[in-house]
Amino acid sequence: MRKKASFTVEDINRFKTNLLQWAQQFDEVVWQDSNGHHGEYHSFDAILAVDGLTSMVTDYENAFEDLKTFQSSTKDWIFGYLSYDLKNDVERLSSSNYDGLEFPDLFFFQPKKIIFLKGNLVSFHYLNMVDEEIEEDFKDLNSSSTTYSQNRLPQTAVSIKHRIAKEDYYANVKTMLNHIHRGDIYEANFCQEFYAEGLEIDPVATYFGLNAISRAPFATFLKLNHHYLLSASPERYLKKQGTKVISQPIKGTAKRAYDVAEDSELAATLAADPKERAENIMIVDLVRNDLSKSALKGTVQVEELCKVYSFDQVHQMISTITSKVAPNKNPIDIIKETFPMGSMTGAPKVSAMKIIEALEATKRGLYSGSVGYISPEGDFDFNVVIRSILYNKNKSYASFSVGSAITAKASPEREYEECLLKAKAMQQVLEDVHNHREDQR
């Protein structure tokens, strides 16, 4: 069904730049880049999927069953996203908050062209109908004369607004704390949107700017017609590798410092922080419960608890939970039984999602959803859509949301500061990139 051909590339960074710019001729694009982070469950350095032969775009109603049908009928690689609001298909919930982005709830496509990168090896997996284009595409992509230049766009002042005023944020966190003290929930992830209207950006330039700042292990560029996701996600939601399922939730954030000793102290402080550890452990318990729905009895394990990893912008506390599933377990069912991810909801999950919906001002949409792929064998890997800019080109509307976990010991002021820390990279890149000039890379 697919022709495969591999080539060695000398300048892999130039090839990556050319690859993403070349992809813009297509309406459907998913690019994922590990940025050199090679963890235990690393599969490849980067992957590009473009040009849908078949696709599905739908709202949340019966979405997972429709995806199951699509996946089983293609019997091929499929790439796409799951929006947070698919929660309404999993549970009896609703989404009625303001939606300035207007992304569909679910999107997957069967790409005609897939390109894998590992080290300096580039592998093309093209459907037979386009397999004669492999040599020509590689020649174009590997040409040293190919350069990327940003589009010249009108120079407009960027005005990033808060959807929730600081005072309202404080009041809503206090309301959430009342729910916690009353015993309705133990923890909930409370998010707020930052947005800009009437903004024209070059999505590729903006992605490159964000990726240069963060260099995250689950970085993603997604295009669906006029909808774009530019993501510097550090978090894996769920991976299936044979009969093994892996979840790696993040809970716990600390800033970085230029001074090595100070930076080490910040990481050590995060590792020992009782509030941050409590947040993380609550989500670990939630994920263990979610994985147990599809796991073979006795196979759910916590491989790593509250380990601090350092990224360019922040230190993060990450745990790794794994399980084993039956060989014939449907991959879509595994995803549905764990969705949405615990790190972006709370505990108990359904109660937390109801409270989140009541207190947040924006429909989350693709933010805190997931982007990834499912292989022909039923393996998959999906990230968590955080640290991301979402852009509706037709509406000239750009948005990024950030959140933090609210627990009994939370302080509204400290949570607000954590949100600003997480928002820093997205705000910086929008302010830096919105006035485009000719720029050769």
DSSP string, 257-269: -SSHHHHHHHHHH
Number of domains in the chain: 1
Q: Is 254 domain-assigned?
A: yes
CATH number of the domain to which 166 belongs: 3.60.120.10
Residue pLDDT tens, the chain, 441 long: 899 999 999 999 999 999 999 999 999 999 999 999 988 899 999 999 999 999 999 999 999 999 999 999 999 999 999 999 999 999 999 999 999 999 999 999 999 999 999 999 999 999 999 999 999 999 999 986 655 555 545 555 688 999 999 999 999 999 999 999 999 999 999 999 999 999 999 999 999 999 999 899 999 999 999 999 999 999 999 999 999 999 999 999 999 999 999 999 999 999 999 989 998 999 999 999 999 999 999 999 999 999 999 998 899 999 999 999 999 999 999 999 999 999 999 999 999 999 999 999 999 999 999 999 999 999 999 999 999 999 999 999 999 999 999 999 899 999 999 999 999 999 999 987 655 433 433
| Residues annotated catalytic, as ranges | 235, 251
Q: Is 307 domain-assigned?
A: yes
CA distance 335 to 240: 10
Q: Is 343 domain-assigned?
A: yes
CA distance 97 to 381: 29
Q: Is 441 domain-assigned?
A: no
* Overall pTM surpassing 0.75 (yes/no): yes
Q: Is 395 domain-assigned?
A: yes
Q: Is 440 domain-assigned?
A: no
Q: Is 400 domain-assigned?
A: yes
b/e for 222-247, b at 16 or more Cβ within 10 A?
bbbeebbbbbbbbbbbbbbeebebbb
Q: Is 13 domain-assigned?
A: yes
Nearest to 287 by CA among 275, 298, 268, 300: 300
Give me the domain span that covers residue 347: 2-433
Q: Helix H segments across 92-222?
A: 134-141, 166-182, 203-214
